[in-house]
Structure formats: C-alpha cells, structure tokens
Amino acid sequence: MLSGCRRALPAALRLAARGWAGGGGRRRVSTSWSPVGAAFDAKQQRSWLTGQSTGLFGVPELSSPEGFQEAQEKALQETEQLVQKACTTPPGPQIVMIFDQLSDALCRVADLADFVKIAHPDFAFREAAEEACRNIGTMVEKLNTNIKLCQSLKQLLANKEVMDSLGPETRQVAELFMFDFEISGIHLDEEKRKKAVDLNVKILDLCNQFLIGAHLPNKIDEHVLPEHIRYNFAVEGNYIQITGLHADCSDDLVREAAYKIFLYPNAEQLHCLEELLTSRNHLAQLVGYNTFAHRALQGTMARTPEKVMQFLETLSDRLFQRTLKDFEMMEGMKMKLNPQNSKLMPWDHPYYSGVLRAERYNIEPSLYCPFFSLGACMEGLNFLFNQLLGISLYAEQTEKGELWCEDVRKLAVVHENEGLLGYIYCDFFQRADKPHQDCHFTIRGGRLREDGEYQLPVVVLMLSLPHSTRSSPTLLTPGMMENLFHEMGHAMHSMLGRTRYQHVTGTRCPTDFAEVPSILMEYFASDYRVVNQFARHFQTGQVFYAVLDQLYHGEHPLKRSTTEILKETQEKFYGLPYVPNTAWQLRFSHLVGYGAKYYSYLMSRAIASMVWKQCFVQNPFDRAMGERYRREMLAHGGGKEPMLMVQGMLQKSPSVEDFVDALVSDLDQDFETFFMDSE
C-alpha cells in the first residue's frame, strides 16, 4: 500500500521527498536568500539588521494604521496632477502611459489595503485599510465619469495615424481604459453620471457587508444539540458556535447539524443580498445594459450570458447520468455505514465521495500525508518551475515591520537569465480572525517605469494551513496541496506577466482567463488517476453555483425570492434535494468578487485541461513547452485578447463543445487508461 501511495506523489514531489535540493541554474544574487523548503519546515528565525522599523511590505507610511491616511492622500494628490497632465497632453502613446500611471498611483494603495482589511490581525489596521479602500474606490468611480479625462483618450482613439503607430499592447490598453469609461456611464448626462457613481459606491459598501455576513458563525443554545456531538463545535458560554459545514466529519449527525445551523437564513444578510443584486441591476440598466450579467461579461471569452448558459446547460446534460450513478454509489455506501438513515443528503456527498475514493484506491490519508510536508511541496514547486521556466524560489530575510504576522514567509522569484522577477509573501498558516479562504492578492503590479526600470510585482498568497508541531512539520492533505499549487499558479502569472502597463499586469485580465494558469497547476499537483479521478464533482457542484449566479444577475425584478430560485436550481442542476429553512446563497461569498462570472472556474478548467493534455501530459517538465506557455499565455497579462492567447497555445479556437468535451474527458475511464499507458 505504501508503494502505491508514493506513486500518487507528483513527480516533482517524489524528487523533493527523496531530498533533492533542486534548481541547477540558480544564481545567488542576494546573500539574504536561503533554500525555500527549509523555510517552511522550520520555525522562522528573525534577526533584524537595524532597530528601525519599515512599514508593511516596505512602505514607510504603513508602520502604523494612521499611515493609510497619509498613503491615500499622497495617491490622491498624485492623481490630481496626472489628471491635469492627461487633459493637456496631445494624442500619442504618452496619453496611455499617463493613464497607466493614474491606475498605478491608485492601485498601489487600494490593492494593498484590499488585502490588509481582511488579513491583518490588528483591528485598527483593518479598519484604516477598509476606509482607504472606500475612498480610493470612490475616486476611481469619479474618474471613470470624468468627461475631460475621457475626451483626452477619445482624441487618441480617433486619431488613426497615431493609433496605427502604437504597438498592439498599447492599443489594447487604450481600448480597455475607454471600456472602463463606457461601462461606468460616461455617455450619460451629469445627473445620471452622479447617480452611477453613487450606485457604484453603494455596491462597494454592500459587497463589504455581504462578505462579512457570509463568514460570520451562527450560534445555537447548546441544549438543542445532542450532548454526544457538542464537542465537535466551539462553545461560547451556553451557546454552540457553528463556523462551517464540517463536510469531512465522519459523523452524519454532526454534518447534518452543521449544515442546517450554519445555513439557517439570516434576515439582515438576505436583505443585503437582495439590495446588492437590485443595485447591480439598476447600475447595468442605467449605463445601457439589459442585465448586470450582460455588463459583467463584456470583454470576457464568453462575452454574453446566453453563451455562458449554453455552456453550463450542455455540460449539465452531459454529466447528468454520471452524476446519478455516483450519487447511487454514495447512497449505497451510506446504507452500509448508516442503515438507519441511508438517504443521501446535501451534507453527505463531500464525505462519502472521499470514503468511496479511499476504498476504490485503497488509500488511507495518514499513509501519504507525511510525504506532503509543506517544505517538500515548496521544493517540488521550485523544481517544477526551474525545469519548465528556468525559475527558482528563494526565502528572503525581511525587515522589521515589513510583515503583519511573524509566520509569514517572503520569497524572491529569480529567473536564471533575467534575474529577480518579483516577490511572493506567503501567508499560509491559520490564526484567529483570519478568513478561511485561499486567495491570491496583487499588492503591486509590474510595469515599465518612466526611468526605464521595471517595477517588480509583489503578491500575497493566503492559505489556511495547520501549524507545524514539535515532532512534525506542517503536513498537507491532497486537497491542501492542490490549493497551494492553484494559488502558486496565480503567483507565477503575476511574476511572468511582464507587461509595459500595470493596468494589464499578471492576473489583471478577464476572469474566465485569469483562472487558467492556476487550474493548470492543479494538473501538475497530483497524479489524478489516484487523487482526483473519482467523484470529484467539481463540475456538478460548480454548474449549480454558476447557473445560480447567472440567474441572480439576469433579468430583474427576480420572479421569485433568492431562496426559491436556489431551491429550483439545486433540484434541476444538482440532483440532491433542497433542505427547508436553509439559505446557502447567503454564504456564497463569490457573489461579490465573481458576480455573473462564477462560470469562469469551469471554462478556465476546460482550457487548462486542453493545455495539459496537449502540451504537458507526456512530459510535465518539458522546457520548450514551458517557454511556449510563458510566451503565449503568461507574458501578456490582460494586454492581449484572451482567446488569442488560448489560440496561440492550442493552435485552435475552442468551441463550447470543446470546453464541455475537455471537462467530461477528465472523468472518463479511458483517460485514466491513456495516462497509465503513457508512462
């Protein structure tokens, strides 16, 4: 059994597990760099070179919460100067550069604050960051309805001679800035433009309120729960606190209780969601779109809600019989383990799919987790990036005050020929008040500065991993490892999207393309004959979520309540019954950042699947393919039409049927056989 589990390790991790230190082409440019694996398997030792403190991320103003006020005032002053400059500069490439400087001045504060407001352990920092986000966001919306500023860009776009002389990236960025004006209502009269700004600010506030509510625990009197399951939950006085779904718990009653209590409707959160959906619809119609979905999908690969629904319905039809069969197998397993209560319910399928997968492949997580130490995973990633892209990761010593928590690690990303590409801050470990979500945050975008130097990108990867113990480093389950690889895919996109303009750097591209590099990394993460093959149901669940998202952002007023729409959609697209007195949509935090775009995970997965099978399945360390991947897909950020990037990599333009075929083939037994034969 142990040899079978070792075979489940990705090739890169097999090398790391045998002690490979990786990366023959490393250039030690800095004496403060050290091997990446050891930095994560050992407790961090801090030795400050001086007593003086820098600010967060090395920004001097941010040594205290009050610094956010100073940082935003500087950004707003710089913005005012750049607006005046843009309005007096004749048509030419300088206009695009000034607009990008504007974007950079605001994003340098807003992006950093966007991370700090949810992740900093100090409430004063979080509060100051949230205020900065709101103020900068309000300024952005005002600029997007500034007639004089828009006129300067219009004059450039109308000048054919000048436009023909610009490079493709510069033209694309100019058009993207104009697109921002158009979807913000620049064509409206003054009164309606002001209304559009007010609606945008209201939507920002509602999004923040909804996100906070989506993560709040629900409390219940401890006497309501049977005594023998209370220990599974946190206790606060006489109340039990339910903070999540406990989906992996082996006790059916614990999962049922968590599901029904955590998803119990909250009237305030329900009102917030309804207000958010209504406000988005009002904004979309005010600026000339039928629905918010039509507005949100402009510029994406899918382009229209109709195309998205065609994709989702086709995929759902193709998966229907397979889903029924899998649910039947899970119900059979539940019958065997719990004959008194064998009906399969929504709180059951994550647990029983894992039980079936473990039985089918004779896997016991405790046998392969020791190979998945965090340090080994990081060395595996290091080896993979070195082989594919000529990149090495090094742990770098930080300055006093640079970090928000002492267990954060800072990585330097170094190319064998190009040198230092940027920095990744790894905020990987659990702590009080830290959201339980895995995210990539851009802190500073890459761009070519006016002095000819390249502004290096800075990002944060946030995970929720357990801490190491005295006897063991942090050990990852396959799911944790997959999430790590996924977020690192976003980070590499940010590091290698070496665009001239920060407005389109790295992951600043259409959402249904932005997830491709991260999902492609999941294919590298594990041998999915073993870990991913059976009953993953990412398609089944995500089709349901994506359809719900489209319906919520479709025609308004909604014909039924959000809960009634959920019930109907769940029964049609999910196959398991709706549970009365639950409102899962109130915990669906992706409605904020992925409004009308949740389908992007599926479409991106389809593209990633095609890239994996066509380019990397035979040799995941193929340097020529790695360089092609960088050249065609990573290098452009949002500076090139996403479908053109996909065409460049795949040498074809995929259709809806191609997307569906790619997703379905991932679950086919034939594909498993193909993998085994190719070894």
Name the residue type at position 117.
K
DSSP E strands, 445-484: 447-448, 454-455, 458-465
Selection from 274, 248, 249, 243 nearest residue 261 by Cα: 243
Contacts of 401 (CB under 8 A, 6+ apart): 53, 54, 55, 56, 63
Classify the C-alpha dihedral 526-354-577-269 as positive or negative: negative
The residue behind tokens 């119609």 is 285
Active site residue 555: no
DSSP string, 314-361: HHHHHHHHHHHHHHHHHHHHHHHH-TTS----TTTHHHHHHHHHHHHH
Q: Is 200 helix (H, G, I), strand (E, B) or coil?
A: helix
CA–CA separation, 412 and 407 (whole Å): 16
Contact 548, 308 (CB under 8 A): no
CA–CA separation, 421 and 456 (whole Å): 6
Contact 12, 383 (CB under 8 A): yes
Q: What is the DSSP letter of 424?
A: E
CA–CA separation, 349 and 90 (whole Å): 62
The residue behind tokens 């409206």 is 188
CB neighbours (10 Å) of residue 161?
Answer: 7
CA–CA separation, 378 and 394 (whole Å): 10
Contacts of 170 (CB under 8 A, 6+ apart): 93, 96, 500, 501
Q: How many helices (H) and strands (E) does the chain have?
A: 28, 11
Q: Which residues of 115-139 are buried (b: 16+ CB within 10 A; e: fewer)?
A: bbbbbbeeeebbebbbbbbbbbbeb
Output the CA torsion 600→196→136→431 (10° steps): -40
CA–CA separation, 38 and 614 (whole Å): 35
Q: H/E element holding 391?
A: strand 391-396
Which one from 169, 256, 482, 487 is the annotated catalytic residue?
A: 487
Contacts of 378 (CB under 8 A, 6+ apart): 36, 37, 39, 40, 393
Residues serving a catalytic function are 487
